[in-house]
Each structure stands twice: as structure tokens, then as C-alpha cells.
């Protein structure tokens, strides 16, 4: 409407409706899909995000044992264990080989008993690469201790699993795979 002074005059309700509609269109065009996923804890692999961006909590470049690892596991002194690293070339400087040695030293310092006969392949230190992360195999009599080891490792690593091995007579085997 053109007023007597030559300026446009609109009814207040029409202006309010137009502004509300414009704001609604702007908000609708700015909304983006959100990506969410359940996680198993602060160190589990997780895909989370929004605004169509994704982040992934990957393993660190070099795995290390969490603080107080040795102290927390010393309550299980005497536990029989064996560690095997996965490798296809026997490279002693590979990350999984170095981590396996660090884990072995820490468990011995916690007064765990290194026992090659725990393994179905006694004394074997290496196996072919088939997994990523760390798998703790526990005999039925060692499940509680195996769970404690898994939980302790999870404080610093993303991929750690516990496997109940009914074929093992006693002890724990820790399989260190690729990162």
C-alpha cells in the first residue's frame, strides 16, 4: 500500500508473517544431518560428529601401557602368561613387536610368571598377522584375571578383546596384533 506521504505502509501482521517465514526457511537450509554412534568407553573406536563431519578415535602411533599398569596388575602376582606378537616378516623393530616386549617386561615386573607351556604352541613368540589390536585369551580358571588385564590395557588402547579359551588348561595368552 502506498501511503499519503509516498512511503509504503504494510499491515503489521503481514510483515510479521513474512519475517517468520524467512527465518524458518533460513533455519531449514542450515540444518544438517547428525551422525551418532554408541561407544564402549573413552578409548573405544568411535565415529561421532555432526554437520556431516566425522572424527575417528584411532590407536596412537605407538602403543604404550597406561600409568600404574604394573602396580594395578601386581595383585595377580604368580599368574601364568605367554605373549605372542603377530608378524609376517619377524621384524624386531615393528611396533607390535616392541609393544609385546614392553608388555612382557611390565607383567614380569608385576611378578607374573612367564610360562611358555601355557600356549598350545609352547615357546612360540610369533604368529602370522591376522588381527589388529590386542586379544587376551584366558583359560576358564584365569577369566577374572584376563578381564582385569583387558580392562587395564583399555585405559590406553582402543582395541582390546578378551576371549574365553576352553581348550587352555590354565593361564593367559596375550596376542599382540597390528595397530
Examine residue 98 and state whether it is found in any structural domain, yes or no: yes
Examine residue 114 and state whether it is found in any structural domain, yes or no: yes
Examine residue 29 and state whether it is found in any structural domain, yes or no: no
Residues 18, 32 contacting (CB under 8 angstroms) = no
Residue 128 has what pLDDT?
86
Task: Work out the average pLDDT over 108-132.
Answer: 88
Residue 111 has what pLDDT?
98
CATH number of the domain at 122, please: 3.30.70
**pLDDT tens digit sequence for 37-55:** 545 555 545 555 555 555 5
Examine residue 168 and state whether it is found in any structural domain, yes or no: yes
Burial of 45 per CB tally in 10 Å (0-12, 13-18, 19+) = middle
Question: Cα dist. 117→26, 37, 98, 149, 157 in Å?
Answer: 69, 42, 22, 20, 28
| Segments forming the whole domain that contains residue 88 | 69-176
Amino acid at each position: 500500500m502506498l501511503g499519503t506521504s509516498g512511503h509504503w505502509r504494510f499491515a503489521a501482521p503481514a510483515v510479521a508473517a513474512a519475517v517468520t517465514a524467512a527465518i524458518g526457511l533460513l533455519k531449514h537450509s542450515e540444518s544438517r544431518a547428525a551422525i551418532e554412534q554408541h561407544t564402549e568407553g573413552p578409548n573405544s573406536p568411535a565415529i561421532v560428529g555432526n554437520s556431516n563431519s566425522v572424527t575417528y578415535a584411532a590407536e596412537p602411533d605407538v602403543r604404550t601401557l597406561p600409568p600404574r599398569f604394573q602396580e594395578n596388575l601386581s595383585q595377580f602376582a604368580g599368574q601364568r602368561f605367554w605373549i605372542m606378537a603377530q608378524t609376517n616378516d619377524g621384524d624386531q623393530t615393528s611396533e607390535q613387536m616392541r609393544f609385546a616386549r614392553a608388555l612382557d617386561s611390565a607383567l614380569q615386573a608385576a611378578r607374573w610368571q612367564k610360562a611358555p607351556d601355557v600356549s598350545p604352541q609352547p615357546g612360540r613368540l610369533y604368529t602370522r598377522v591376522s588381527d589388529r589390536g590386542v586379544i587376551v585369551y584366558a583359560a576358564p580358571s584365569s577369566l577374572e584375571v584376563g578381564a582385569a588385564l583387558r580392562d587395564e590395557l583399555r585405559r590406553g588402547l582402543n582395541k582390546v578383546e578378551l576371549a574365553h579359551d576352553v581348550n587352555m588348561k590354565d593361564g593367559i595368552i596375550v596376542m599382540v596384533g597390528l595397530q
